[in-house]
Amino acid sequence: MGNEKAYYGQFGGQYVSESLMNTLAEVDAAFEEAIHDPEFLKQYHYYLKQYVGRETPLYFAERLSEKYGTKIYLKREDLNHTGAHKINNVIGQILLAKRMGKTKVIAETGAGQHGVATATGAALFHMECTVYMGAEDIERQKLNVMRMEMLGATVVPVHSGSNTLKDATNEAIRTWAKTAEDTFYVIGSAVGPYPYPKMVKEFQSCISREAKRQFAEEVGGLPDVVMACVGGGSNSIGMFADFIEEKSVRLIGVEAAGLGIETGKHASAMALGNPGVLHGMKSYLLQDDDGNVQLAHSISAGLDYPGVGPEHAYLKDSRRAEYVSITDVEAMDALMELCKLEGIIPAIESAHAMAYAFKLAKEMTPEQSMIVCLSGRGDKDVNTIADYLAGKGYLN
Ligand SMILES: *Cc1c(COP(=O)(O)O)cnc(C)c1O
């Protein structure tokens, strides 16, 4: 490899075919140039403000704080256009694609959230957009398929492996290798070959940059804890970014424990994964004894990924950040709690972070404070929530 900056400790790298190595080098060069160009930054911040609706509030959740006995602040990424943090990254990558003279974008999607965000950005910036999606996921996520098509994207069903996100990502990478001349690959989380984990972190770091300043202005000083859910790791790395150097701040990433990590049906790559290679990167992955990547399970489609971004793997090994897991049941209880006490319906992904916040709050004092990244809103999850509650006998 010989490219040390591509690594976070032993993790990261560029595990791709020879034909993509040049393409990745071009993307890296263009990105480095862009983020040091005041014109590019001006454009990026213009769209974040006028189109996405940033900055998002740092909201003091008064009723939750009272009940759980510590100060709980919510970074409201759910209020962004398209309902989650993913658009921050998509706007950045598509502006970069345009700057590189590309006319087409491709993306992978699992639940469809990144596909919708990419189709949105592609419409805004007049790019042709193709989204690869597992055939199984297309069946499960009809509403998001409809959204992508309304926004002008072509959704391509992938019939291979488990017909889900992992397979759609492989297909997107394969297609990119053949079409990189005019096509930019928009990756939806802090994963993939270098420089993607670096780019996604940069484009999501607006979350912590704002939150740090807002906290200093509204409360003073630094929070004691900063927390976010971890699928591939983009909202969490964005939430951590500007706090990594602040050693007094505890950084906590919350993975999905699904039905319980002891059941084998979970998505806790940090808790139970081993280092391995997937989608162009080396990181912690869920794999069987032969090194085959295992299927992840979580009630939240956005956390249902068998790996995690390489910088998180490094933050775990270097002990700068802690990673914990929350089950489906714990997340759903926290989701209902947030609905009832604060009038906010969070995404099920974000509810994982809330659930751990409630657990940790018991060990904290009323003077201490935490910021929880509320990565998205729960409108997309209403059917899942209804099924879950019906099964539980809540809604009868
Ligand atoms: C996609 C998604 C996630 C998980 O992705 P990360 O890259 O780990 O942030 C979390 N929350 C919401 C609302 C999502 O849509």
Tokens of 150: 């309304």
Count, residues in the chain = 396
Q: What is the pLDDT of residue 1?
A: 45
CA of 67 to the centre of ligand 1 (A): 27
Give pLDDT tens digits for 17-52. 999 999 999 999 999 999 999 999 999 999 999 999
Q: Per-residue pLDDT for 53 more than 50?
A: yes
Q: What is the pLDDT of residue 338?
A: 98
Whether the Cβ atoms of residue 210 and residue 74 lie closer than 8 Å to each other: no
Q: What is the pLDDT of residue 10?
A: 97
Give pLDDT tens digits for 146-156. 999 999 999 99
Give pLDDT tens digits for 286-321. 999 888 888 888 998 889 889 999 999 999 999 999
Question: In the β-sheet with 58-60, what is the strand arrangement from edge to edge?
Answer: 58-60, 71-76, 369-374, 225-229, 250-258, 321-327
Whether the Cβ atoms of residue 236 and residue 373 lie closer than 8 Å to each other: yes
The answer for residues whose C-beta is within 8 angstroms of residue 295's C-beta and 6 or more apart is: 162, 164, 166, 286, 306
Q: Per-residue pLDDT for 394 more than 70?
A: no
Let me know if 375 is a catalytic residue.
Answer: yes
Answer whether 169 contacts ligand 1 (Cβ < 6 A).
no
Which of the four pLDDT bands, split at 50, 70 and 90, describes residue 393?
low
Q: How far apart are CA 49 and CA 56, in angstroms?
A: 9
Q: Which amino acid is at 315?
A: L
Q: How far apart are CA 254 and CA 236, in angstroms?
A: 9
Beta pairing class for 71-76 and 58-60 = antiparallel
Tokens of 80: 């962004």
Give pLDDT tens digits for 240-281. 999 999 999 999 999 999 999 999 999 999 989 999 999 999
CA of 34 to the centre of ligand 1 (A): 25
Q: How far apart are CA 371 and CA 224, in angstroms?
A: 8
The answer for residues whose C-beta is within 8 angstroms of residue 307's C-beta and 6 or more apart is: 191, 232, 269, 273, 278, 279, 281, 283, 284, 285, 286, 293
Q: Per-residue pLDDT for 85 more than 90?
A: yes
The answer for residues whose C-beta is within 8 angstroms of residue 252's C-beta and 6 or more apart is: 225, 226, 227, 228, 321, 322, 323, 324, 356, 360
Q: How far apart are CA 85 and CA 374, in angstroms?
A: 9
Instruction: Write out the E strands in the chain.
Output: 7-8, 11-12, 58-60, 71-76, 104-109, 128-134, 154-158, 183-185, 225-229, 250-258, 274-278, 281-285, 321-327, 369-374
Peptide bond into 275 cis (omega under 30): no
Report the nearest-CA residue for atom 13 of ligand 1: 376
Answer whether 235 contacts ligand 1 (Cβ < 6 A).
yes
Q: What is the pLDDT of residue 140?
A: 82
Q: What is this structure's pTM? A: 0.96
To test the pocket of ligand 1, the residue of 165, 191, 207, 234 to mutate (highest count of ligand atoms within 8 Å of its CB) is 234
CA of 326 to the centre of ligand 1 (A): 15
